[in-house]
A and B are shown apart, each in its own frame.
Chain A
Amino acid sequence: MADIAVYTSRRLLIGLSLLAFAAGLTASRATADPKPGIASPPVQTESATLDPAVAAANAEEIEADVSTRSVAITSSFTGVEIIVFGAIANAQPEIADGGDYDIVVILEGASERHITRKKNRVAGIWINTQAITFDDVPSYYAIYSTKPLDEIADPFTLRQNDIGFERIRMRPVKGWETGITAGGLADFREALVRLKRDERRYIQDEYGVNFVGRSLFRATVDLPANVPVGPLKARVHLFRQGVLLDTFNTVVKLERQGLERVLYVFAFDYPLFYGLFAVLMAVCAGLLASAIVARVRR
């Protein structure tokens, strides 16, 4: 992302006449980057970055969309699948069978505070004794890719773009007083991700993005019944041989509707009246039941 931004601004500033100089900078930065494990052939990198005409006209871009931009959470909501689809524009013909392009689709819910607690045995009883509070943890995180992430790009690039469960942002803010060491913190992070995965709120499918034809791709994203309500940020990353070429962003809205919405607003915005309503409902139900029973017995 940063590389591209820098590259683009340079390209605009320096112009065609200073291209050789710019290319030299790009090349030197690329070699200086401490990125292990990229086996990108230098010839192709140069053809993409050196030739200005090719770069301007033929830079690969993603054009994508989601099948449903607004999902209604109603009382009968049992989860839904939405499709993220798109195409690679300017796909280079010789590698356009999808084999060399990699797509990562991520849907992310709003960041929330999460508390991870751990039980320990105290006098024979299992009690929560340790807790770490994490801030800015995505409430939902679904990641679909064309192949395992470590084969798509190096850990540095993945971290820069928040790609993958291990790289989900979560900021520990308190809980050190409960006796948690740095090593223990990793266990708490892992546990958070594991429990989120058990809840189906964190989802990963390493082969969940499929190419259809030459440059079309699609991913079926699972929004389970317990998906956190709120806007989901959707992003699609395009990689080729470890290099992030383009990112597409959009938003999927999740909104409570119908009875579900009425009850939720009632319960959280007018809690006192909601409580009184619950009691009134209970009294009526009890009276109605006894009236019916009395009539039936007679």
Chain B
Amino acid sequence: MGQETFGQVNPGRRTSWSQDFSVERLADCAGAMNFYLPIAEMSVNVFVFLGMGAAVGFLSGLFGVGGGFLMTPLLIFSGIPAAVAVGTEAAQIVASSVSGAIAQWRRQNVDVKMGVVLLAGGAVGSVVGVQFVKILREAGQFDFVVSLSYVTFLGVVGALMLIESVNTIRKVRQGQAAPSRRPGQHNWIHGLPLKMRFHRSKLYISAIPPLVIGALVGFLAAIMGVGGGFIMVPAMIYLLRVPTNVVVGTSLFQIVFVTGITTVLHAAQNYTVDVVLALLLMIGGVIGAQFGAVAGERLRGEQLRFLLAALVLLVCLRMAWGLIAEPSELYSITSGVTGGHG
């Protein structure tokens, strides 16, 4: 606007008082489908986040994973404050895992007793995690800790999966049968006290390891905005030696409740759950997951694991880059009482 009328007397060319309220401007607003997110405090294009939900939903359907570890970094990369990304993603994981959990329940693939013990640990982990998030945000270190957690866990899990899948692919090519799991060897876990009998899993072990694993997963769910299946499933198989047919169901059972608790706690303590954003991601996610599941049926297990490992490592590297590369802006600001821009 500006300069042309400054300091000039130009009675023949008066500026119209109403030109700023044009009909085109209103039409633009409707066409772009922007929505103001109440918690993230930004106006976003609805289709961008529906699409993001669909893309991650496709991948999670393809690989049979929750997708939190992909969605939370994507949200952060797209400018959603890290704390809001984590809190909102917890709500989305509830939606994406609840139907799976019910399906597994119907097939009696849930060891309820094991699930409850894991959940008890998970609830404690979640409470501690949400409190930890609050303290970190006040100290201005939350973004850093989120990135560091992602780099660490995705790096380890991705590398292990990559090695395992490459070995399996090689053995299949050489005509060997894929190795089956060795039957229950006794390890140090069997020496712990507080033994419980888990009928469905045919286990008689101490309650301490599942409690600790549950707590760790709950803690990670709270600070990373993930379900924690990528820790839970390997831990149940290799540490607790839970039979594989109940692992997924029990893990989903625990994830639904722990992410549910985490959502409520994030909302109550940190005010970082954006229901509008969560709803957009849910809608996109459930649609994408259906296509992903269909596509996943055409690929072999070890191939899927190889691709998933590559994806996990890619996200890990992107996060690591953010920590190591010199940022273009060294300064950052946080404003207000709640500090929604942590």
Contacts and interface: CB of A to CB of B under 8 A. Distances in A.
Interface of A: 73-79, 81, 83, 85, 97-99, 112-121, 124-128, 131, 137, 139, 146-147, 188, 191-192, 194-196, 205, 207-214, 218, 220, 225-226, 228, 260, 263-264, 267-268, 271-272, 274-279, 281-283, 285-287, 289-290, 293
B102 A287 contact: yes
B244 interface: no
B23 interface: no
B46 to A, nearest CB: 10
Interface stretch (B152-160, B231-239, B257-265): B257-265
Contacts of B41: 226
Interface residues of B, number: 72
Contacts of A214: 9
A17 B275 CA distance: 71
Given A220-B20, A267-B267, A277-B275, 13 more contacts: A115-B333, A125-B323, A195-B329, A205-B1, A208-B2, A212-B14, A213-B9, A226-B41, A228-B336, A271-B268, A272-B268, A285-B282, A286-B97
B188 interface: no
A120 B323 CA distance: 11
B20 A114 contact: no
10 contacts: A78-B29, A116-B331, A120-B330, A126-B330, A127-B144, A260-B38, A274-B275, A275-B265, A278-B278, A282-B260
A98 B332 contact: no
Contacts of A192: 331, 333
Contact of A274 (B267, B282, B327): B267
B333 A117 contact: yes
Interface string B128-169: 000000000000110010001000000000000000000000
B6 A210 contact: yes
Contacts of B78: none
Interface string B14-27: 11010010000000
A218 to B, nearest CB: 7
Contacts of A274: 267-268, 273, 275
A267 B38 contact: yes
Contacts, number: 220
In this complex, the member of A99, A125, A225, A279 whose beta carbon has the largest number of chain B beta carbons within 10 angstroms is A279
B92 to A, nearest CB: 7
Contacts of B5: 210-212
Given A195-B332, A272-B267, A276-B264, A286 B11 contact: no
Given A99-B7, A275-B266, A286-B94, A78 B32 contact: yes
B36 interface: yes
A124 B6 contact: no
B141 to A, nearest CB: 6
Contact of A282 (B282, B325, B339): B282
Contacts of B334: 114-115, 117
B2 to A, nearest CB: 5
B36 A260 contact: yes
A208 B279 CA distance: 41
